[in-house]
Chains A and B, each alone.
Chain A
């Protein structure tokens, strides 16, 4: 089977093209770093394997993930290389193209996002580009599927592509060095002339992956000259020669195509949304609107309808059927007040959660998320944090476990440890149902604002704690945060739908597994006591446990056994807190629970509860991941107890400050 490799700079639409060419759907995000490792798929209705490699700016790797591309090209012989470029950023993209063309494999250059290019008021003369680069060129706009058929055809007809090596005019000294190394590699190590030539250029150009390869293989013709190459500054001169070639090529091929009114739209918008003052305000405003949509305008009305259905017809019908079947009160209670109330109580929040995920998908696909990363990075740098920690922390808003895993991209172990330890303060989506419940009960007019404040408080605490760890661990800033700002796009419905479903389907799956299990567990704890099965839950084990811990929670404003016992179940998964409340209040109706919660505590206590839930011990899956990633049980235990301590302290302060204000 033939193999076609997709290479390109980050955010050039490789993934969208890959998804269009294969039957596989992969996560698409309009920001750099979506392709973490190489992916494979089969070209639709053809015997061709497509390999999608991570986006890189050059074959010289900056991180371990980036070395995947150089290693792949060195150790594999793809039948065709599809070099995907962002047509509106061709000058920068061609640097990688040159490195690929020097490999002398059959290559097709794909000018993707041509619509963006034309919006800038320019186009390229493809004949001139083809003649100068010596490879076929296809124009596409993968988002609208324009030109995708041509790319597919090119992939199938890979045999017809010539294998012509691009010849750049390097300075004579470098040409001589390349030639000598090439001849020695061919003669002594039996490399083909093209591979030897490419290895020599990459080695002289200080490609770290190739230098490691040469050391591993003990390629003496290269290693013996390494000091000479570096002393002569050959790498800089190679870069200068390539830049010169690119500039001349662009100058020759670029042609104006009339005036365009919106060709600077992206940069005009960016001037505002990435502004040091307006940027953070716009960021906060966008997130406020997002929470408004989820918790006030759209999500909550839909959620109320679903709650009415689950707590009404579903519960009543189940109860009638169980009575007719002769079920005992205990079994009826387990099914109706336990599983249906608990699981249904969480499922009722699906509209709000999916609405929030849809908003995030729109922000990702539109291109705004990259700007959000830039705006937040400035804030993080003010505190002295590495901007590279931003992406894992953003992923942590979805799920802390995935966020901790994403922290692997941070090279320095101490920085990675700091990011791992502050991750549980990122408000994961599992906490949304309980937020929604509490704000509906105590802050019905300001639901979105309160939830937004909790999210921002989580970020503030995380950054403050990170700063403390930085000082304690003596972390010095080492890495550089690079993020591409893509052109703004009108979000595509199918990408939004897939993004929303991918983020939200885990929530539905959990309802049938861990939420169900947690609900049954809390039902047993609240239905059995020292005297056996009890109909009055105040005599249950859960009530005993809650009452025993009550003095500890009185200073933070929520001294009620139901709430305290529910917090314990949050260790299983944070959603279970909501289902536990449903079970312990013996209701399957969210509306009833909201009404029942009201007299239990003051708004100050309710806000302190939200703060405590935000910061207290992570769920067991997160703890297991902390143990795994740090390789230490002690860090896991430390994370759990430090989170508890911080949660208690911040909730205590919040409660007493709120009492002073209200």
Chain B
């Protein structure tokens, strides 16, 4: 049982990490969004607006 819980936690952490990476790839494809700088600066807002 304890082994199963350990494995589940490891799988959960791995799934979370993969989810974050996939989500960041998706965000990168949208204009004005990126993983590298999450600060929603004026330049990004302007870029989003121009693409909208």
24 CB contacts below 8 A, A to B, read A36-B42, A37-B45, A330-B6, A334-B13, A400-B36, A402-B41, A405-B43, A428-B36, A505-B39, A510-B38, A513-B24, A514-B35, A516-B20, A517-B18, A520-B13, A572-B21, A572-B24, A619-B35, A620-B24, A622-B34, A622-B36, A624-B29, A624-B34, A628-B31
Residues of B within 8 A of A517 (CB): 16-18, 20-21, 24
Given contacts A334-B10, A572-B21, contact A37 B36 (CB under 8 A): no
User: In whole angstroms, what is the CA distance A326 to B1 when docked?
Assistant: 11
Residues of A within 8 A of B36 (CB): 399-401, 428, 430, 506, 510, 573, 619, 621-622
Q: Are B35 and A513 in contact, with the CB atoms below 8 A?
A: yes
Which residues of B have CB within 8 Å of A430? 36
B13 touches A402 (CB 8 A): no
B52 at the interface (CB under 8 A from A): no
Is the CB–CB distance between A27 and B42 below 8 Å?
Answer: yes
- Which listed residue (B24, B43, B45) contacts A621, Cβ 8 A? B24
Interchain nearest-CB distance for B8 vs A (Å) = 10
Q: Mark A7-26, 1 if CB is under 8 A from B, else 0.
A: 00000000000000000001
Nearest CB of A to B40, in Å:
10
With both chains docked as a complex, state the minimum distance between the C-beta of A22 and any C-beta of chain B, in angstroms: 15
Shortest Cβ distance from B43 into A: residue? A405
CB <8 Å contact, B39 and A331:
no
| The one of A331, A505, A624 that contacts B6, using a Cβ cutoff of 8 Å | A331
Whether A399 contacts B37 by the Cβ 8 Å rule is yes
Pick from A26, A27, A330, A514: contact of B10, CB under 8 Å: A330
B10 and A620 contacting across the interface, CB-CB below 8 Å:
no
Chain B: residues with CB nearer than 8 A to chain A?
2-3, 6, 9-10, 13-14, 16-18, 20-21, 24-25, 28-29, 31-32, 34-39, 41-47, 49
- Residues 620-639 of A, flagged 1 when their CB comes within 8 A of B and 0 if not, give 11101100100000000000
Report the nearest B residue to A510, measured CB to CB: B38
Measured in the bound complex, the distance between the Cα atoms of B39 and A37 in whole Å is 17
Q: A37 to chain B: which residues have CB within 8 Å?
A: 42, 45-46, 49
15 extra interface residue pairs, beta carbon distance < 8 Å, beyond A520-B13, A620-B28, A621-B34: A37-B45, A39-B42, A328-B2, A401-B37, A510-B36, A510-B38, A514-B24, A514-B35, A517-B20, A520-B16, A524-B14, A620-B24, A620-B35, A621-B28, A621-B35
Across the A-B interface, the 7 shortest Cβ-Cβ residue pairs: A520-B17, A624-B28, A621-B34, A517-B20, A399-B37, A621-B36, A517-B17
Inter-subunit contact B28/A513 (CB<8 Å): no
Q: In the complex, A35→B6 CA distance in Å?
A: 52
Contact of A401 among B2, B16, B34 (CB under 8 A): B34
The A-B contact count (CB < 8 A) is: 111
> Whole-angstrom distance from the CB of A182 to the nearest CB of chain B?
35
Bound Cα distance from A113 to B29, whole angstroms: 43
A506 touches B21 (CB 8 A): no
> Which of B6, B13, B14, B20 is A328 in contact with, Cβ under 8 Å?
B6
Nearest B residue (CB) for A520: B17
Give min CB distance, A511 to chain B, whole Å.
11
Please, how many angstroms separate the alpha-carbon atoms of A395 and B41 in the complex?
A: 12
Task: Compute how far the CA of A328 lies from the CA of B11 in the bound complex, rounded to whole angstroms.
Answer: 13
Selected contact of A36 from candidates B20, B21, B32, B43, CB within 8 Å: B43
Chain B residues with CB under 8 Å of A401's CB are 34, 36-37
Closest to A524 in B: B14
Residues of A within 8 A of B47 (CB): 405, 408
Q: Tell yes or no: A175 within 8 A of B by CB.
A: no
Residues in chain B near residue A658, CB distance under 8 A: none
Which A87-103 residues have a C-beta within 8 angstroms of B?
none
| Nearest CB in chain B: distance from A514 CB, A | 5
Q: Which residues of B contact A624 (CB under 8 A)?
A: 28-29, 34
Judge whether A502 is part of the interface by a CB distance below 8 angstroms.
yes
Question: Smallest CB–CB gap between B15 and chain A, Å?
Answer: 10
**1/0 contact string of A509-542 vs chain B (CB within 8 Å):** 1100110111111001000000000000000000
Chain A residues with CB under 8 Å of B14's CB are: 520, 524
Q: How far is the CA of A330 from the CA of B7 in the complex (A)?
A: 9
List of B residues within 8 angstroms of A328 by Cβ: 2-3, 6
Measured between beta carbons, the chain A residues less than 8 angstroms from B6 are 327-328, 330-331
Residues of B within 8 A of A505 (CB): 39
In the bound complex, CA of A339 to CA of B16 (Å): 12
Per a CB cutoff under 8 Å, which of B21, B37, B42 touches A521?
B21
Residues in B whose Cβ lies below 8 Å from that of A625: 28, 34
What residues of chain B lie closer than 8 Å to A109, measured between beta carbons?
Answer: none
* Complex: A170 Cα to B24 Cα, angstroms: 59
A409 to chain B, nearest CB (A): 10
Contact B46 A402 (CB under 8 A): no
Give Cα distance in the complex from A509 to B37, angstroms.
Answer: 9
